[in-house]
Structure 1
């Protein structure tokens, strides 16, 4: 009788190569594969962040939209791109693997930049320059087919960038085997360095690309973006022979919906006291790529979905269940994991609202301040975002190379501190940053008052723009803790089949935070209209006579309350339990 073939310890279950062959642990994945991911992320963010900070100028100065319309158009564009990361994550979890989703999305994004480049280059595709020399100025706003071309280009970029954001972070983390303690430790470093790539690319975009746009023309600037995204694609494709590619397993949203439907159908049944009486698929051959989750006691009502009844199976004597009538314990637990994540996700929205202030009101503050560096150079208004980005570029390697090993000696945790602790530290620092922002604004307004410049809107105040560095530094550290901690938390805790969608939650939090910022500004203006002035804290174009400092302190108070709310949910959170894997006691 022939001996059964022993399994190859280097063959990775559920992973293939780009050619569709089984992936091997000793050949595929690891640090050398993530290098290509970092380069892809850097070049992609270089292009995307450059247009984020400068498109308002393009809309207003070239397309002749009004300032308010320009700002709204940009907000809608960025918000759409961030929200579409969920769609990109869903597609890469369900139908197309994360590598191919990233590449296809990048090509869609590239097509959008090419359209913007083409329109910016040819005068016939954009409105004529404004005529300001005659007795009446003539400024024709973009319309018709030219508007359609502009929005097609913009939203191809939004669709493509959303797809990249949804698939790429989880794809890079897939290059490490979380069942191997040595490889699992490197996942934390991966997310730290991915964040470094994001900030480094954004820094180059907000400086070099913005300079090209302002000094060499918009077509040259968009051409720079086309080149950057092309290099991103080339980098990603160059590493194709080294990747581990996880096989997608079908729609995760359908599995979640099945749990709710089956639980509703079984709502009148009593839940067994012993979890072993609930239905579970025990045959590993059913799906080698699915981790088996152990039962937890939270949301016991959903356990009703795993109660086997007459009619639970599709055919008589058939062991395949009807998914809308009977779900396995693992499927129920996957749903519980996503539900448990939602309060943590919600608690991070406000830090994104605080970030929005650094990209809007903080820039407005900088425009009133002395932006000179030496005698012959001034920081461009659109490049003021370089201040917090520069701090992040410096701090991220320090955190990964110095803080993590130092903290690991005391905590024993592979990432230095747990993911939830990391998020909490970021929330505290964000609160402090908003308090400092209020103090810096008081300082700026006092300088305006002392020099009789409260109404001098076009002359810079004799106070350096680098005063904003205090709040930017603290918020940069907050961002480093919260954003990376959140991405790593979502990846490690999400079910294997839902990881792209889960990591995209961090971008969704950012999007909702920006939208919340607009809502808060309107609420504050309406609530304070008759308290300190006739027009509210933040209305009007004269920042020197507004009450931005009070708004910052309001955000600090809300952030502090949000932190205490977070403490409750972080303590309530129960991490997932995977059968057959020895987890760290404080892994999250």
Structure 2
């Protein structure tokens, strides 16, 4: 009797199961139907997260009464921690809980953090009555500040579990071995970012206005409600998802560390040849010991050396798969490092750009004033407008020219964005010099609260260029760190991508703190005084242009020598 149609390999997806634990049926699971739920969750999550992040410097310098430098350092430090914590979330997901359960747990943690953040701003007793008539000189009570920052970092922890898992889980809905689904997965990263930026646009337009003009408690409470809706939407798609069954209760970082330890321990042993590594001792070889980049990181092959000292059976402690995972990880590290300055530049859009906007003419008509943080909307609007053009027009042209499913290689795409980000900082430098000169001409340099007679729309071009750069570099990095990682480490790969912006935020904080200290010595005025008319942000931006150019040279060197581990990228 003929086997049922569902059992045929062409009808099931290798390495994936459905919600019941049965082999995932291609026609009934995954693809755009499932990823639609996941993109919807990401829209809600970005709306919530950016509702806090975009205007955070305004809250710190406003209700919490912090100086410009302190607030900028606090914002970039929190952003850095939020971008590094995905490494923890990815470790938990890939080694223990799986992506689906980690997303649910992180969403619940998100709701708790946002709820407490709302509480810190809403309870009337948290605002002493003595401050009501003297808000300028009165500082908030210490317990309010503690509750605020504890809640803020709880949100960062929740984001650390949510961010790498949701995106990896969405990409998992497309089979990397199926020609048509490979194309769809490449488009998924574009539409993922499109949806994410749509959420940010609404956040910048709606929440920043609510926070600046109505109430901070309401401005923090709306994201909390949004995350409750998000988890409900995510659960609605449970029956349609494809789930990976590679969770083996083994921490991926432990497996990585084990390879290095074994390689060092066997450093005097001879490197095993392909023929000596068999199924029992090291896993399937698939034709060669090193499938990709045969001459790279050969010292790690010593982790496969066999002998009585390695195990009771004389088999290696590490498998071929483990060694290949570590090699894949090491191959992406130079690209990771070469993109850090892009993240430093990116950090300025939510700190100094926002403070610049607060000093400029923000009027529309006689009554309405644009919240300075809402200008970040231009980044995401430019992405929303440009991304469909890139996906439907530029990618098709590139595919026709290069004969690759992805059009441009991911490294070509990333490099293009790096160049555009440098151009954006050159524009930012020129606009800042224009702002200072206008303040000098208007004779308001010594009046910190004065509004410079210069429209805030002067800042729009640099934001738009940032958005176009993100279309290339951010999306390229997402696809690169997902595709170049083995299946067992894909959440870790996306966490590494996010950690670029974490390290970039920390480096931005470090640069601001050091430059503030050095430039204020011997009675000189800092580059970053509270009075932005006496600031030298143009010097800082010029410094970032120079550093970005230097880092771009590093990027070109490493990108040229990089060995892809996927045929369609070669």
Q: Is the 8 A contact 1:109 1:157 kept in 2?
A: yes
Residue 499 of structure 1 deviates from its aligned partner by 0.3
Q: Is the 8 A contact 1:65 1:141 kept in 2?
A: no
Q: Is the 8 A contact 1:281 1:328 kept in 2?
A: no
The correspondence for 2:564, drawn from 540, 552, 575, is 575
Residue 94 of structure 1 deviates from its aligned partner by 0.9
Corresponding residue for residue 92 of structure 1: 93
Matches within 5 A, 1:147-546: 147-247=145-245, 248-249=247-248, 250-272=250-272, 275-281=273-279, 294=291, 296-315=294-313, 321=315, 323=317, 327-526=318-517, 528=519, 534-536=524-526, 538-546=527-535
Pair 1:68–1:171, CA change in 2 (3 A): same
Q: Is the 8 A contact 2:304 2:316 kept in 1?
A: no
CA distances 1:151-182 after superposition (whole Å, capped 9, x unpaired) = 44323322211111121111000000111111
CA distances 1:357-401 after superposition (whole Å, capped 9, x unpaired) = 222221222122211223332111232322322222221222112
Q: Is the 8 A contact 1:280 1:328 kept in 2?
A: no
Residue 138 of structure 1 deviates from its aligned partner by 7.1
CA distances 1:26-58 after superposition (whole Å, capped 9, x unpaired) = 211001111111110011111110111233444
Q: Give me the whole-angstrom Cα distance separating, in 2, the residues matched to 1:422 and 1:52.
A: 27
Residue 448 of structure 1 deviates from its aligned partner by 2.3
Compare the two structures and name the one with the higher helix fraction.
2
> How many equivalent residue pairs?
564
Pair 1:102–1:137, CA change in 2 (3 A): closer
Q: Is the 8 A contact 2:67 2:530 kept in 1?
A: no
1:10 aligns with 2:19: no
Corresponding residue for residue 50 of structure 1: 51
Residue 95 of structure 1 deviates from its aligned partner by 0.9
CA distances 1:226-248 after superposition (whole Å, capped 9, x unpaired) = 22101111111111111001122
Q: Give me the whole-angstrom Cα distance separating, in 2, the residues matched to 1:473 and 1:142.
A: 40
The 3-state SS of whatever aligns with 2:14 is strand
CA RMSD of aligned residues (A): 3.0
Matches within 5 A, 1:137-156: 139=138, 141-144=140-143, 146-156=144-154
Q: Give me the whole-angstrom Cα distance separating, in 2, the residues matched to 1:528 and 1:138.
A: 28
Pair 1:374–1:188, CA change in 2 (3 A): farther
Pair 1:211–1:111, CA change in 2 (3 A): same
CA distances 1:319-351 after superposition (whole Å, capped 9, x unpaired) = xx452xxx2333212111101111100111101
Q: Give me the whole-angstrom Cα distance separating, in 1, the residues matched to 2:165 and 2:76.
A: 23
Q: Give me the whole-angstrom Cα distance separating, in 1, the residues matched to 2:149 and 2:514.
A: 30
CA distances 1:442-466 after superposition (whole Å, capped 9, x unpaired) = 2222222333333343222222111
Q: Is the 8 A contact 2:413 2:472 kept in 1?
A: yes
The 3-state SS of whatever aligns with 1:141 is coil
Q: Is the 8 A contact 2:69 2:513 kept in 1?
A: no
Pair 1:466–1:59, CA change in 2 (3 A): closer
Q: Give me the whole-angstrom Cα distance separating, in 2, the residues matched to 1:369 and 1:170.
A: 41
Residue 427 of structure 1 deviates from its aligned partner by 0.9
The normalised TM-score by structure 1 is 0.89
Q: Give me the whole-angstrom Cα distance separating, in 1, the residues matched to 2:3 and 2:457.
A: 73
The correspondence for 1:558, drawn from 547, 550, 557, is 547
Corresponding residue for residue 124 of structure 2: 123
Q: Is the 8 A contact 1:447 1:463 kept in 2?
A: yes
The normalised TM-score by structure 2 is 0.91
Q: Is the 8 A contact 2:76 2:509 kept in 1?
A: no
The 3-state SS of whatever aligns with 1:432 is helix
Residue 310 of structure 1 deviates from its aligned partner by 3.0
Pair 1:148–1:519, CA change in 2 (3 A): closer
Unaligned runs of 5+ in 1: 578-582
The 3-state SS of whatever aligns with 1:462 is strand
